[in-house]
Structure 1
Amino acid sequence: MQVFRCPACDRPLYLHNTACRCGQPVQFDPDAQAMRTDATPCRNRERISCNWMAESADGWCRSCAMTRTVPDLGSDENLQLWIQTEAAKRWMLAGLARWGWFGPSDPGDRPSFRMLSEHTSLGNAKVVMGHASGLITINVSEASEAERTRRRDNMGELYRTMLGHMRHEMAHFLHLRLSEDAEFLAGFRDLFGDERADYGEALKKHYAAPSPASESHVTSYATAHPHEDWAETIAHLLHLTDLLDSAAAAQLSIPDGYAPGYDAYQESDPHRLLGLAVDVSIRANHVNRAMDLPDLYPFVLTGPVREKLSFAHGHMRRI
């Protein structure tokens, strides 16, 4: 993610900022990838600290307009969980906008989101995250770090975040969009397998006896079905691209790496992008260990996984 500048005083601003330290309120413009002072704020600015500019006639920003259902706000904890969840959605969408998704030049369908909580004013409810025909369901309960950590440990995962969930579920929607192109679908099936295989049966088999990440799958869950392999691959492509872009924006340097002002989203060579991102992650892992913290990016990218990431990169970049 870029570091932005205040139009009034040129101080640095970050994606979540609603105002600069100089006192100037700002609104984020996802197409210009810049903070503005002359745009109409989203209707959700006061309610959930949304700092994006309004785009729709009824006053919603691009991100908030995608939310069809909000969690039960009769349960006290859900407002803060929803705020954190929407912040992760905005971060994901800001990255995708860098590749031309969902802006004025993109005439394709947009997803809708159901933001649900397992804790309601009427008692507990079961919420299953997933995507179906353009509708993405997100369990805001996992915006709680304690709850997310418990599930990560129970499932033996190396990484589990709300931003990761957003990127994974959005990947299922993007597969729908990309599958309108017969060339994409043919290439996808050659690399990932036939997505028409019985999805329900595949998940039953996976949860009964999970397979570890393999030479050709970036995570264990990616082994379950071609759809999940794609979703995990896209999530990791977004992780690595944004990791590299954020390192460059923070002016972290690596020998023989990128020049000042490097934009990872403009990188056309997927092999160079992956190489630089892995180099940054190895160095960041080393720094994290000095504080006894988990590795920033605890995954190994094999040759077959890199091939899938390269294929995905070629189809995700619409600029």
Structure 2
Amino acid sequence: MQVFRCPVCDRPVYFHNTRCACGQEVAFDPETQSMGIARDTCANRDRIGCNWVAEAVLCRSCAMTRTVPDLGAPENLGHWRTTEYAKRWMLANLGRWGWFGAIDKGDRPVFKLLSEQTSTGEINVTMGHANGTITINVTESDEAVRVERRAELGELYRTMLGHMRHEMAHFLHLRLSKDDRFVAEFRALFGDERTDYGEALKRHYDNPRTADDSYISDYATMHPHEDWAETVAHLLHLVDVLDSATAVALSLPGVKTQGYDAYAQTDTEDVLNRAVQISIAVNHVNRAVDLPDLYPFVLTPGVRKKLALAHRSLRAPA
């Protein structure tokens, strides 16, 4: 993510800020990818801290949310706020490649943000994507809940931003699949997505596979759709890591970031290699304070081929 500048005093302003240190109210414009003086802001600004400009009453991101968690359960306001922040971050990243902007005339996703906690008791919530609708379990915005489930499921990586990127990847596949060339390339690398998903899901949980050279995670082995979603999520992680390192002028020997635009780069291997080197360095720093690795994965040759297709396909909307 970029570091922005206050339009009045030129101090650094960060993606979550609604106000600069100088006191100026600011708002993010996803069309220009910039922070400006706060005018015509999203109607959700005061309630959940949305700092985007409005396209009508709501901003581009909040307008995609059709269902919010039951606010009769008091904890859900905070869960909604945190979840929408992750969604805005994910959408801002994709906006660097032109997705959902003014020139993108394609369909936009619909979000259902549900909580396991309601005013009438607990319910089950399953995250997923179906025909353009993305369901997110906002209960996982609670750090303690997410850490517990990460341990239960044996996952190295489980974050709200990761959930957003994974489920959005399913929607992006729906958009991209309107192009027969993409479908042919996809099936050659990922397999035939028309295979029975229910059977694949049952097989995965009855007899889970371990990721090999061709898969970024164990979950990716389940079905071509999940392989794609996991691959895209990791691509978005890595491009954003590199972009964020550039934004704060972080560099290493042989990895100069000054003037580098991770979203403009067309060479996938260059992006991956730079991001991996940055990640390894930050992993080492994290260990100094006993924190988990920033990116605890190895990019095998088979995975890199899939990342290259995802990168090539996502650099401009279908």
Q: 2:200 and 2:257 mapped to 1: Cα distance?
A: 45
Q: Report if the CA contact (8 A) 1:27-1:40 is conserved.
A: no
Deviation per CA, 1:115-165: give whole Å up to 9, x if none. 000000000000000000000000000000100011110000000000000
**What's the counterpart of residue 298 of structure 2?**
300
**What's the counterpart of residue 41 of structure 2?**
41
**What's the counterpart of residue 10 of structure 1?**
10
**What's the counterpart of residue 30 of structure 1?**
30
**What's the counterpart of residue 234 of structure 2?**
236
Matched, 1:93 2:101: no
**What's the counterpart of residue 51 of structure 1?**
51
Shift of 1:105: 0.5
SS in 1 for 2:69: coil
Structure 2 matches for 1:244-283, cutoff 5 A?
Answer: 244-283=242-281
SS in 2 for 1:261: coil
Q: Report if the CA contact (8 A) 1:118-1:124 is conserved.
A: yes
TM-score calculated relative to the size of structure 2: 0.98
Q: Percent identity over the alignment?
A: 65
Unaligned runs of 5+ in 1: none
Shift of 1:261: 2.7
Shift of 1:168: 0.1
Choose the corresponding residue for 1:131, options 129, 132, 144. 129
SS in 2 for 1:234: helix
The aligned amino acid for 2:88 is R
TM-score calculated relative to the size of structure 1: 0.98
Structure 2 matches for 1:54-203, cutoff 5 A?
Answer: 54-56=54-56, 59-203=57-201
SS in 2 for 1:264: coil
SS in 1 for 2:136: strand
The aligned amino acid for 2:235 is L
Q: 2:14 and 2:211 mapped to 1: Cα distance?
A: 35
Q: 1:281 and 1:264 mapped to 2: Cα distance?
A: 15
Unaligned runs of 5+ in 2: none
What is the alpha-carbon root mean square deviation over aligned residues? 0.9
Shift of 1:258: 3.0
The aligned amino acid for 1:147 is V
Q: 1:54 and 1:211 mapped to 2: Cα distance?
A: 45
Shift of 1:39: 3.3
Q: 1:13 and 1:71 mapped to 2: Cα distance?
A: 30
Shift of 1:38: 5.5
Deviation per CA, 1:190-240: give whole Å up to 9, x if none. 000000000011011111122112110000000000000000000000000
The aligned amino acid for 1:309 is L
Q: 1:226 and 1:202 mapped to 2: Cα distance?
A: 10
Q: Report if the CA contact (8 A) 2:242-2:278 is conserved.
A: yes
Shift of 1:257: 1.6
Matched, 1:215 2:213: yes
Q: 1:284 and 1:209 mapped to 2: Cα distance?
A: 35
Q: 1:307 and 1:293 mapped to 2: Cα distance?
A: 31
List, as ranges, runs of 4+ consecutive aligned residues in structure 1 with deviation greater than 4 Å.
none
Q: 2:38 and 2:83 mapped to 1: Cα distance?
A: 27
The aligned amino acid for 2:155 is E
Aligned length: 317
SS in 1 for 2:275: helix
Shift of 1:259: 4.1
**What's the counterpart of residue 313 of structure 2?**
315
Q: 1:160 and 1:304 mapped to 2: Cα distance?
A: 23
Q: 2:225 and 2:144 mapped to 1: Cα distance?
A: 29
Q: 1:64 and 1:17 mapped to 2: Cα distance?
A: 17
SS in 1 for 2:263: helix
Q: 1:147 and 1:110 mapped to 2: Cα distance?
A: 30
